[in-house]
Structure 1
Amino acid sequence: MSSRRSPLLAVLAAVAMTVTACGSQRAGEEHTGAAPTPTPTRSYPPPPKCAQAPETPAPTSASPSSDATGQPDEGPGDQPPNYADNHAYRMQASLSPEREASGLASAGLIRKELEKVREEGGAGEYGAYPDARVEAALQRLGCGPEHGVFVGNGFYAVYTGIACVSGRVTKDELTAEVHGVYVEPQPGAGPCVENRGGH
């Protein structure tokens, strides 16, 4: 029986050494003793972009202690134990100054298009415009289902491929907020809609 195991063990040992040595040196590279610098590779296609302005304004310098809205991060404050854990689903990805500037440019385009909806009139119950009209306005900017567009009762949210733009469009109000995608967005509503559930 030991004669059968020996060839199998030899094959397994050879495979283990091959797997361990994999990627330790690139072809045509000399081994310098230093660890190789990993090259990040994208294994998925970049997200489609929409509502992109021809020119993006220069990013504003935000202090490192500011959140995506530019408000200072005041820390947890006086909160019950496990508050942060229980509300982690509401967290948004942070935006670099460049992404925030691009998001603000997109928000300007979106506001302009949604202002046309308001000028046309026809608000319904609670001053909200029909969802189809708001969706059509976003579609004119190239924002469709692949951008996580969500519209309902005067609220809209869209992922431009760089940042989220969300807000309200009603007879009395037009807002546009730029923010990062939610860590755990509302299921079925796209990456830019806050989860109404919890843990």
Structure 2
Amino acid sequence: MPFTPHRGARLRRTAAAAALLALTVTACGTEHAGQQQAQSAPPRPSFAPRPKCAQPTEAPSKQTPTPTPTADAATGTPHEGNSDDRPPNYADNHAYRMAGELSSDKRAKGEASAERIRYELEKARKEGDVSEKRITAALAHLGCGKEHGVYIWDGLYSVHTGDVCVSGHVTKEELTISVHGAYAEPQPGTGPCVENRGGH
């Protein structure tokens, strides 16, 4: 068949359409590969670990420490164990006020940190200054600041060491100290170590 201008134009259009189709397929292939790479990437953790403070200078003993009662961070009094006279749904209704469980390793680290905190707070007591400013300075000496949920109010102190909560009361007359887990829903505006005093 003889070559005609119309036939040449059709061939050029066909070649252009083929080239365009090839580009589209290549682009789609690249897009799918990118999607597969994104899907196969390992998930990132949704939270950063808590910063550490009041860490012991030596590794804590591997011995399991003697369990101490968990104290109420707002009053300094130990929590009661499960009582038989509580209603059956008591635990469910009060779960938001429960402190997290501690492994024996975390409790050992916490007890070692608590000793360092006790030492600094005893120094403040011996000086006769248990003001909020002085207690803040005592905890800051151990590297504990706002990022550790430090909360001080009316003799109450609490701090998260990165492993556990250490809390209690410090007055000129006494010093109490307790090691416990962070609360699921702590008292708003206080940090992770003060029990929620509200209700659900």
TM-score, reference length from structure 1: 0.69
Residue in structure 2 matching 1:113, options 100, 116, 120: 120
- Work out the number of aligned pairs and report it: 159
* Cα pair 2:187 2:196 within 8 Å, conserved: yes
Q: 1:75, 1:176 → 2: CA distance?
A: 22
Cα distance, 1:143 vs structure 2? 0.3
Gaps of 5+ in 1: 1-10, 27-38, 123-128
1:137 maps to which residue? 138
2:179 maps to which residue? 178
* Cα pair 2:65 2:107 within 8 Å, conserved: no
Does residue 54 of structure 1 match 2:57? Answer: yes
Residue in structure 2 matching 1:99, options 106, 127, 139: 106
Cα distance, 1:89 vs structure 2? 1.6
SS in 2 for 1:193: coil
Gaps of 5+ in 2: 1-27, 71-77
Q: 1:106, 1:53 → 2: CA distance?
A: 6
2:89 maps to which residue? 82
Task: Quote the sequence identity (%).
Answer: 54
Runs of 4+ residues over 4 Å off in structure 1? 66-69, 73-76
* Cα pair 1:68 1:94 within 8 Å, conserved: no
SS in 2 for 1:143: coil
Q: Identify, as 1 or 2, the structure richer in helix.
A: 2
CA RMSD of aligned residues (A): 3.1
Q: 1:42, 1:60 → 2: CA distance?
A: 32
* Cα pair 1:148 1:192 within 8 Å, conserved: yes
Cα distance, 1:121 vs structure 2? 0.9
User: Are the structure 2 counterparts of residues 166 and 40 from structure 1 closer, same or farther at C-alpha, using a change threshold of 3 Å?
Assistant: farther
Cα distance, 1:134 vs structure 2? 0.6
User: Are the structure 2 counterparts of residues 116 and 61 from structure 1 closer, same or farther at C-alpha, using a change threshold of 3 Å?
Assistant: closer
1:155 maps to which residue? 156
SS in 2 for 1:157: strand
- Give the residue type in structure 2 aligned to 1:99: K
* Counterpart mapping for 1:25-64 below 5 A: 42-61=45-64
Q: 1:97, 1:59 → 2: CA distance?
A: 9
